[in-house]
Structure 1
Amino acid sequence: MTWLPDNLGTVAHLAGAHTVLAGVPLLVGLALALPLGWLAHSRERWRPVLVAGTGLLYTIPSLALFVLMPILLGTRILDPVNVVVAMTLYTIALLVRTVADGLDSVPEHVTAAATAMGYGGLARTLRIDLPLAVPVIAAGLRVAAVSNVSIVSVASLIGVQQLGVLLTDGYGRNFPEELWVGIVSCLLLALAFDLVVVVTARLLTPWTRAGGVR
């Protein structure tokens, strides 16, 4: 049981790379999904195309998408950009419907009151609708965050360095300790991502905490 202490620096390096490869697409995907989800919410004719179209991206096998990216982007097979772009597409696929559903969840009387107070269009969306939709969006973001951490590990099969390397190396060398370190590390990273989303959502919705006080 000395493998982890002897290789702690390597595990930390791989965890850092894994965090970037899973976290950057989560942020970029959310930024892109917000306007797409708003269009799906506000333009009923576009909703089936946007929701179904982006959802189809998630049906593409991750390994196939990782291999396809260098052809589409003109990058090297081991370039981390391939993983970032692929994971961004997966994040968009998960979040467009979530954003649309979150905006749909805002009560009509609230939007009517906001309109009567002079809020309209983009201002109402940013200052009223979107903040109230945060709990629903955060729930979808938690799923996307955990999913990203899991799928990124598959990229080790094409040689991209992150925690998945511990899984492939541990299995290939029949070395259970390295394998278990990889599994536990991925689990802890997923839990950390989930915690960050939960805490951020709570900070953005202080009224939900105030509502629980008696």
Structure 2
Amino acid sequence: MALTFELAPAFSPALRDGITALWADVTNAGGAVGFVPPVTAEEIRPELLKHLVAIEQGRARLLVGRDEEGAVVATAFLVLNDHRLMKHWLWLYTVMVHPRLQGRGYGRDLMAAAADAARSLDGIEAIRLTCRGGIGADRFYAACGYKEVGRVPDAIRAAPGDDRDEVVMLLPLGPAAPAPSSGPATP
């Protein structure tokens, strides 16, 4: 099964509900996407609304991955910088792949689609993200080409007595990789 990625899809109640359900499923499976389990869709909706306002204001783009049935199974939000000296890079937030699909390479596919989406935006030269330390997310992002550029010790309190580092990672964007050749080159 291959996922289909779309940047800036038309928004609908079904898409909203799909993202909300994905976010709850990822969190409740232990994913570090701004909440700790257990979480309900109602708890997630206000945070999703913040992303949607940024999209409406032109400050963010939604990248959605869908399975063969059209269900939302992956997301990432590309958020542009407002600061006049930092407009050459963007933030990547709320990177999620449904737990039932994890471990099959879809996370790498999502990260590649996010890099391609960022390259399609004028003037973007890099992607920056943060992740929660201690769960292996930094190793995953490093395997996708990101470099650790900073770490804030104990910045994230997952629970009383469970403080985690906030890891800052950066991916400089070069040109997109060429598509693989489908046959021998012709002179």
TM-score calculated relative to the size of structure 1: 0.26
**Structure 1 or 2: larger strand share?**
2
Using structure 2 for the length normalisation, give the TM-score. Answer: 0.28
- The answer to which structure, 1 or 2, has the higher relative contact order (CA under 8 A, 6+ apart) is 1
Bigger radius of gyration, 1 or 2?
1
